[in-house]
Structure 1
Amino acid sequence: MEPTVRLDLYRQMVLIRTYEEAILREYHADKKPVFDIGAGLIPGEMHLAAGQEPVAAGVCAHRIPGDSVTATHRPHHFAIAHGVDLNAMTAEIFGRVDGLGRGRGGHMHLFDSAANFSCSGIIGEGLPVAVGQALAFSRRNTGNVAVAVAGEGAANQGAFHEALNLAAVWKLPVLFVIEDNDWGISVPRAAATAVPSNADRAAAYGIPGVRVENNDVQAVHEAAGTAIARARNGGGPTLLEVHTLRLWGHFEGDAQGYRTDLAQVSGRDPLPAYRAALSEAGILDEAGTQEISRQASERVEAAISFAKASAEPDPAHVGDYVFA
């Protein structure tokens, strides 16, 4: 892989992590001394994707204008990697009028029509939506690909199987991405899923199934590149599962008493591991590391400032923009 591509992957991962750390800071800033999920500038649940950066960075490196992504309730990493407007996304997370949904949706309901991005708190909801998008791309012969992202728990939903079957029957340009972070909220994968790898399920629909281990961003990039090129060339869908990592809780405030792997989690962080690999390869030095971090922080803090400066919605207009 070219050094420039490897650096781009690292930059994307750093931007995502920097953003998630900033949202973590702002989310908890005014929820002390006793945690109150309904208090503060960002009330409600918050699902952050620290540790899952390699999946979004590796997949979205292959996007072209017009491609679509349907993401999960843990959406920020894919939104950033897919090119969603950072200012408008952050304003939406803060519930402000300059947000993607005018402050009506919050962090689990990010919709950016310009970027062809959406997400939902409903498990598996984006899978059939992506099939519909892929059908439109196919009918219009645009050369675009739909990417549907779901967690390993969603692979047990009926929508997962229905979406894969229809995409295979119609040979649609869609990539199904399963983020296997080992935990469906507090349930370990092995306790809820009969097969060791969801990628094995692709065989039932006559499509390729690929599993990437070790949260390896370069392996994700390679596997996604093959699948997306196949889809663009009329080869149909692929199921890609990535064994990734949830560094933090299912949601902020999650005590994680159920996790038997907590002692090992920090040592599996993909960011320092990839930084060390680039350094060993002579691609990234300390000065470069600092500059990438500075640029990411500058961009993220500008988005936070934009969101805080945006007005809160007027309660008198609560029904506006809710129904198109």
Structure 2
Amino acid sequence: MATAHGGTSAGTSTTKRPRGAGTRAAPAPSLPPQAAHDLDLLRQMLLIRSFEERCVELYSAAAIRGFVHLYIGEEAVAVGVNQALSEQDAVVSTYREHGHALARGVPPDAVMAEMYGKTTGCSHGRGGSMHLFDAARRFYGGNAIVGGGLPLAAGLALADRMREESRVTCCFFGDGAFAEGEFHETANLAALWELPVLFVCENNLYAMGTALAREHAQTDLAMRAASYGMAAWAVDGMDVHAVEKAARGAVESIRAGNGPHFLEARTYRFRAHSMYDPDRYRPKDEIEEWKRRDPITAFTEGLGKAGLIDPAALESLERKVVEEIDHAVQAAEQAPEETAETLLLHVTGKAEEAPS
């Protein structure tokens, strides 16, 4: 029976530890498991934040081009949800997917090279910011069409069920996609066919420049999703622990055969919709109010109060993350461009047809 909750009532599970952002450093052996896990969560969020901030610099310097949609402020959602997923599960993302890719374990070098359009990128330089893809990690985009990933997620889940695979497909999308027909059609079929899909709606209150309340008469998206006959609830998307707990509970229930689940992660993007966006539609005081709930700052303060990290250790961690991003940028700048001879590769499958 469908339920809609206003909190994070989902339980915890013992699913195996998923892939995390980039290459993980082994935790200090003296730390208890939960402490090591929490420090790893912080590292992943810092990696995403550092990557995105570097993208701002590179875009401003015209080193990377095209549309760039930043994930700054929403890091707790990608990192928290991915803790519940195994390597065999699938992830379908949106065009704001740098954070999703890094949290899934796509190496920063491969993501940055893709931003540069280089052949060493995860999509071989063909996708850029909005079309990150890594089949080996079952990361299926990166979709530039709003809501375009939703039916793909249903297809992946249906294929897994027909093959009797115990897998979950996690589909990230924004509140703007909730208004698209793809969501309602996919939600209906997923519930009707009891597909193993975790729908994660990153509700950052704005569909591009349109406020949620100006687009939806009922703004409780979890309650609306429950009307399709799936378990659905809202979670604080600025709290990585709350997101992880909710995601683990949902994934555990999906694996038990209870059909699709829906999480509404209530979050906020600190930057404009894209690097092209002048961001004149959001009140400045609203932005500042949400920044005071920065998921990284809040989590770091909690770790400090628990005695798990001090200013020196935090500085060291931040320095290592910046060095990792520095290496990714350097590798991307040195990576080769695609040659004319291979332009038709992956298009027709016949590279020899490329123009001379």
TM-score (norm 2): 0.84
Query: 2:333 aligned with 1:301, yes or no?
Result: no
Partner AA of 1:60 in structure 2: N
2: distance between equivalents of 1:207 and 1:115?
27
1: distance between equivalents of 2:64 and 2:49?
19
Q: Deviations over 1:62-102 (max 9, x none)?
A: 22112111111100001000111322221111011112222
Structure 2 residue aligned with 1:25: 57
Range with greater deviation from structure 2 (237-246 or 298-307): 298-307
Partner AA of 1:91 in structure 2: A
2: distance between equivalents of 1:320 and 1:307?
21
Query: 2:43 aligned with 1:11, yes or no?
Result: yes
Match of 1:204 among 227, 234, 240: 227
Query: How many residues are matched?
Result: 314
Q: How far is the alpha carbon of 1:213 from its aligned partner? A: 2.7
SS of equivalent residue, structure 1 residue 179 = strand
Query: Tell me, which stretches of 5 or more residues in structure 1 are unaligned?
Result: 30-39
Structure 1 residue aligned with 2:302: 277
Structure 2 residue aligned with 1:36: none
Q: How far is the alpha carbon of 1:265 from its aligned partner? A: 4.0
Range with greater deviation from structure 2 (267-276 or 50-59): 267-276
1: distance between equivalents of 2:94 and 2:177?
10
Q: How far is the alpha carbon of 1:266 from its aligned partner? A: 3.0
Query: 2:81 aligned with 1:49, yes or no?
Result: no
Q: How far is the alpha carbon of 1:212 from its aligned partner? A: 0.9
Range with greater deviation from structure 2 (210-219 or 158-167): 210-219
Q: Deviations over 1:172-200 (max 9, x none)?
A: 11100000111111110110112121111
Partner AA of 1:98 in structure 2: T
Query: 2:109 aligned with 1:95, yes or no?
Result: no
Structure 1 residues 224-303: aligned runs within 5 Å: 224-260=247-283, 261-303=286-328
Structure 2 residue aligned with 1:133: 156
> Does the 8 Å CA contact 2:111/2:122 hold for their aligned counterparts?
yes
1: distance between equivalents of 2:187 and 2:65?
36
2: distance between equivalents of 1:105 and 1:131?
23
> Does the 8 Å CA contact 1:102/1:321 hold for their aligned counterparts?
no
Structure 2 residue aligned with 1:113: 135
* Structure 1 residue ranges (4+ consecutive) displaced by more than 6 angstroms after TM superposition: none
1: distance between equivalents of 2:319 and 2:166?
36
> Does the 8 Å CA contact 1:13/1:271 hold for their aligned counterparts?
yes
1: distance between equivalents of 2:244 and 2:96?
20
Structure 1 residue aligned with 2:203: 180
1: distance between equivalents of 2:59 and 2:117?
12
1: distance between equivalents of 2:158 and 2:336?
39
Match of 1:146 among 162, 166, 169: 169
RMSD, aligned α-carbons: 1.6
Query: 2:97 aligned with 1:67, yes or no?
Result: no
1: distance between equivalents of 2:105 and 2:256?
24
Partner AA of 2:45 in structure 1: M
Q: How far is the alpha carbon of 1:214 from its aligned partner? A: 5.7
Structure 2 residue aligned with 1:33: none
Range with greater deviation from structure 2 (161-170 or 279-288): 279-288
Query: 2:196 aligned with 1:164, yes or no?
Result: no
> Does the 8 Å CA contact 2:238/2:294 hold for their aligned counterparts?
no
SS of equivalent residue, structure 2 residue 129 = coil
* Identity level (%): 39
TM-score (norm 1): 0.92
SS of equivalent residue, structure 2 residue 264 = strand
SS of equivalent residue, structure 1 residue 101 = coil
2: distance between equivalents of 1:28 and 1:265?
25
Partner AA of 1:92 in structure 2: E
Q: How far is the alpha carbon of 1:252 from its aligned partner? A: 1.0
2: distance between equivalents of 1:214 and 1:144?
24
Match of 2:338 among 288, 309, 313: 313
2: distance between equivalents of 1:42 and 1:323?
27
1: distance between equivalents of 2:190 and 2:339?
43
1: distance between equivalents of 2:102 and 2:159?
24
Query: Tell me, which stretches of 5 or more residues in structure 2 are unaligned?
Result: 1-11, 13-33, 350-356
Q: How far is the alpha carbon of 1:4 from its aligned partner? A: 2.8
Q: How far is the alpha carbon of 1:316 from its aligned partner? A: 5.1
